[in-house]
Amino acid sequence: MSGLVVALSGGIGGAKLALGLSRVLPPQELLVVANTGDDFEHLGFYICPDIDTLIYTLGGVSNTAQGWGRADETWSFMETLRASDPEQAWFLLGDKDLETHRARTASLRDGATLTEVTARLARRFGVAASILPMSDDPVRTHLQVEDESGIRWLPFQHYFVKLQCRPPIRRIEYRGSLQAKPSRRLQFALQSGRVRAVILCPSNPFLSIDPILALPGLRELLIQCGAPVVAVSPVVGGKALKGPTAKIMAELGMASDCQSIARHYSGLLDGLVIDQADREQHGALEASGLRVTATQTVMQSLADRERLARGVLDFADALAHDDSRI
């Protein structure tokens, strides 16, 4: 089958599946939509962590051990900063990575849109598939947390990097999202009538996917695009493989299982891909009206990424086929 595959993604976990998709699809058939709720300005640079992780991963220059940043990185800038201004040194910026932030900041200041800058950077790293920021307008994820310091709102990176997700979350806001327009290219794509599948990558639903879904009108465009919407569960065996997904689910009063993921995305999803470790939830999930497939969603090797990508596409294609028979 051909057609456009639209993948919504955050950083590390989502980028793994996006890489798999990029290796099994022709480049013109893949549109990866990146969360920009994590973006922030720091040290005078405009930093887009999820976009960069996607570009580095698909460009084959990422540090695969840590999942973010560049391979063969050096840290002279960071060591210098730490020695001179340690308070500012909480967000790690490698010397090579820095040129990405430098180039983006300069281009934005010259009047380019984030979409244009992202396309330019992706080209730089030889990424043939399209990587799109979810919006050219700023959206900033803020978290209301409560700990021994009381109740307070924190900007995303402060919570995520500086405090390493320790304070329990009470509420989440995607500030600016009501005024933000979904990426124009994404809107065109979803209205083109040639979307093959919409894939919600196994990213953190609250921190990576919801900021995208919070854009006015986007949920409706996804539902009406004529293609199945399929999520890959970021929870396996009751745990998130990476990051604070399970911890946040508990803090928000959810069980950290696939059924909570299904409920969280209810009204949007046609299908859910779960890990074989969660096979026993298959029946309960399908009883709720959702189509479900169980496979190995844990991606260690490059082959794992490609296999999952193929599995997700096959599953979506089967859903589309079933729908068309109705």
Residues that bind a second copy (CB under 8 A): 43-45, 73-74, 76-77, 79-81, 84-85, 94-96, 98-99, 102-103, 105-106, 109, 124
CA distances for 48 relative to 40, 44, 59, 87, angstroms = 7, 13, 16, 21
242 φ, ψ to 5°?
-150, 140
Report, in Å, the least distance between residue 180 CB and a second copy: 25
With respect to a second copy, which residue has the nearer C-beta, 99 or 314?
Answer: 99
DSSP letters spanning 267-303:
TT-SEEEEEGGGGGGHHHHHHTT-EEEEE-----SHH
Report, in Å, the least distance between residue 152 CB and a second copy: 24
At position 160, the amino acid (one-letter code) is: F
170 C-beta neighbours (distance < 10 Å), count: 14
With respect to a second copy, which residue has the nearer C-beta, 68 or 174?
Answer: 68
With respect to a second copy, which residue has the nearer C-beta, 112 or 165?
Answer: 112
Buried b / exposed e along 50-89 (16+ C-beta atoms within 10 A): bbbbbbbbbbebbbeeebbbbeebeeeebeebeeeeeeeb
Report, in Å, the least distance between residue 237 CB and a second copy: 40
With respect to a second copy, which residue has the nearer C-beta, 6 or 51?
Answer: 51
126 C-beta neighbours (distance < 10 Å), count: 11
Report, in Å, the least distance between residue 164 CB and a second copy: 24
Sign of CA dihedral 94, 95, 96, 101: positive
Report, in Å, the least distance between residue 78 CB and a second copy: 8
With respect to a second copy, which residue has the nearer C-beta, 126 or 289?
Answer: 126
With respect to a second copy, which residue has the nearer C-beta, 73 or 251?
Answer: 73
Report, in Å, the least distance between residue 84 CB and a second copy: 5
Place of tokens 């946040």: 248
